[in-house]
Amino acid sequence: MLIAGVVGLVASGTLTVEKIQLLLNPYYVPSCNLNPILSCGSVMKTPQASVLGFPNPLIGIAAFSVVTVTGLLAVTKVRLPQWYWVGMTLGTLAGAGFVHWLIFQSLYRIGALCPYCMVVWVVTVSLLVVVASIAFGPTDATRGNVVAREIHHWRWSIATLWFTAVFLMIVARFWDYWSTLI
């Protein structure tokens, strides 16, 4: 959790700085503009980049700060109550829902991918797997729950399938561009 929190916080912070630079200078070229497809600048200029009226990365800064602190508490062996982990799971699930909406927007509406955003996508889904496995994983209370046990057992396989599905959607959506590079 700590590593995911720090990675997400760095990606969100970098996106925020890039967005501020773009607001100050409309000719600014963000560091993550790599080619026509991998282009943060193209994504940052869309309405989807500020869904609530402010840049989306600010949500990431707040959320990943909580994740980082939780990761620090976990590393120092502070036991957090079950309700905390359930709440963290619900918050992460909301974040994952938002990420999936952004994935759809990037692929099928905007037509460009933001590399830092993709880092946030991976971190968010990875966090959902970890946090949900802590909140609903095998404990004395769930030992008899077959569904909880199986989901916990297959959690990384499920995440790998998700990463593969998103990767294949990216390849398929931008195949015309990728095929010119081969």
Q: Cβ atoms within 10 A of the Cβ of 95, count? A: 22
What is the percent of the chain where pLDDT is above 90? 78
- Enumerate the domain spans of the chain: 2-181
pLDDT tens digits, residue range 105-116?
Answer: 999 999 999 999
CB 119 within 8 A of CB 38: no
pTM: 0.90
Report which residue type is found at 75.
V
How far apart, in whole angstroms, are the C-alpha atoms of residue 112 and residue 164? 19
Please say whether the structural domain 2-181 has been given the CATH code 2.30.29: no
pLDDT tens digits, residue range 42-75?
Answer: 999 999 999 999 999 999 999 999 999 999 999 9
pLDDT number for residue 138: 66
What is the rounded average pLDDT of the residues 28-40?
Answer: 92
Q: Does the structure show a pLDDT above 90 at 181?
A: no
pLDDT tens digits, residue range 10-25?
Answer: 999 999 999 999 999 9
Model confidence band, residue 140 (pLDDT cutoffs 50, 70, 90)? low
CB 30 within 8 A of CB 22: yes
What is the rounded average pLDDT of the residues 127-154?
Answer: 75
Q: Hey, is 39 helix, strand or coil?
A: strand
